[in-house]
Structure formats: C-alpha cells, structure tokens
Amino acid sequence: MRAELTSIDGFSIASFLSAAAGLSAAKCGRQLHCYSLKSGLSVSISVLNGLVDMYSKCGCIAEARAIFASIQQPNVVSWNGLMSGLASNGCFANALSTFEDMIIAGVLPDSVTFLIAIYACSHGGLVDLGMDYFNSMEEQFGLVPGEDHYVCLVDMLGRAGRLETAVEAIETMVHQPGALIYKTLLGCCRLHGNVAMGEWAASQAMEQDPLDSAVYVLLAGIYDDAGRVEFGEEIRKMMRARGATKSPGRSWM
C-alpha cells in the first residue's frame, strides 16, 4: 500500500510557528525555521511574520529583528509582531521607536498596533505619550478605540496614580463599560490605597458580573490594607454567599 504524502505549505508552517510561539517552544520553532529555509517557504510573508512572532515570544529578540530585517515589504502584521516582541521583553522605548519607523515607512497602524503602543507606554511609565497615542487613534487614523484600548488606558493611568483621569476616561466611552474595565480600575485603587474609589469600582463590576471572585478579593484586600479588616471579612462572606468561589491555583508541572 502506497503511503500518501501531504505537502506542507506556507500557511501550515505559519500555523505550526504560532503553536510554537504560544508554547514558547524555541527548539521546535528553530526546527520549523530550518525546514522553511530548506523547503523554500521562508520567502512567504506569512512564514516570516510567524518567525518574528515565534522568536519574539521565545525571548529571542535579536533573531526576531534579523527576520524582520529580511522582509522586503513588511506589512502591519510584521510591524505589530516586532513591536509586541520588543514590548513584551521590556524594550519599551524600542517598541515605540518601531511604531514611529512604521509610520515613516508608510504602513498604517491598526487597532492592535495601538494596543501594543499603549501597553509599552503603560509599563514604560510614559503616560502622557500613551495618552497622545490613544487620542491619535480616532483623530489621526480614524480608528475608534475599543474596550481593550480603554482597559489599557485605565491600567496605564491607574498605575501612574491618575485615578480621577482614569474615571473620566471611562465616562467618555461611547458604549457601556464592561466589568473588566472596572476590575482594572479596582486593582489600581488597591495599588494606591484609594478606598472610596475602590468601593465604587467594585460596585460597578459586581453589578455586571456578580460571580467574579477577583472583584471581591481585590475589594477585601483594599479594606485589609486600610486596616478595616472587619469590612474585608464581610466582603469575603458576601463572596461565599453569592457562590463566587475563588478559582484554585494550577500548574502545568
């Protein structure tokens, strides 16, 4: 019986690279890279973008940059992959510099590009620049910010202690803010010990998702940190009464 051979094309390699990236499996990713070179599939833009993403997520920034440099006409996915890799590995200034290079190259950013840029500003402590990027989405590029962008914005402002500005940003949303936005604000309130705003954020989050245990845990933590332990215990009792049980920790090991 003759064995049937299934040919592997560029899209298959790109899918395998995505899986390797998700698992941070650098060894497997390098083998796929070698195969793409030997098979001649490494000229495919989808494969090259997959390699940039894989090396970035495996922490191999030098390799990701080298692959990106080999792309003759990088598209928005190529730029996003490099930006994301730089930002996720702590190279926030380089990620934002890549954003500017992208604009100079004439490639229009998409909503993912701005998520990465705001994330880089948030973790790099560049709050004012992050606000500029957020505002430029619609004003300069005609992109309407989605809920993910507002979550990133609130996180950035909250980390910097600009809690009032974060609330103002939430109030400017065209659509109804989701529970995640209020939970993000709640986490920032705990970071800065703002009990009053934390109570408000928790009430908004509970109204939308009363079974999210993280909201109760964060609010109880705010009370504990403020020395109001009895209030923290009441919140924990409320959590148990409503059946919002905390998910147990898990490990892949």
DSSP character for 44? S
Whether the predicted pLDDT of 65 surpasses 70 = yes
For residue 95, give every residue at least 6 positions away whose Cβ sits within 8 Å of its Cβ, in sequence order, or none. 83, 84, 86, 87, 116, 117, 120
As a whole number, mean pLDDT of residues 2-20 equals 72
Instruction: Specify the pTM.
Output: 0.87
The pLDDT value given to residue 199: 97
As a whole number, mean pLDDT of residues 72-96 equals 95
Domain boundaries, the chain: 11-72, 73-143, 146-245
At 21-33, the pLDDT tens digits run 888 888 898 998 9
Whether the predicted pLDDT of 43 surpasses 60 = yes
| Cβ atoms of residues 152 and 137 within 8 Å | no
Nearest Cα neighbor of 141 from 153, 150, 132 is 132
Whether the predicted pLDDT of 179 surpasses 90 = yes
Query: Residue 6's pLDDT band (boundaries 50, 70, 90)?
Result: low
The pLDDT value given to residue 1: 36
Query: Residue 253's pLDDT band (boundaries 50, 70, 90)?
Result: very low
Q: Hey, which CATH number is domain 146-245, 1.25.40, 1.20.1050, 2.60.120, 1.10.10?
A: 1.25.40
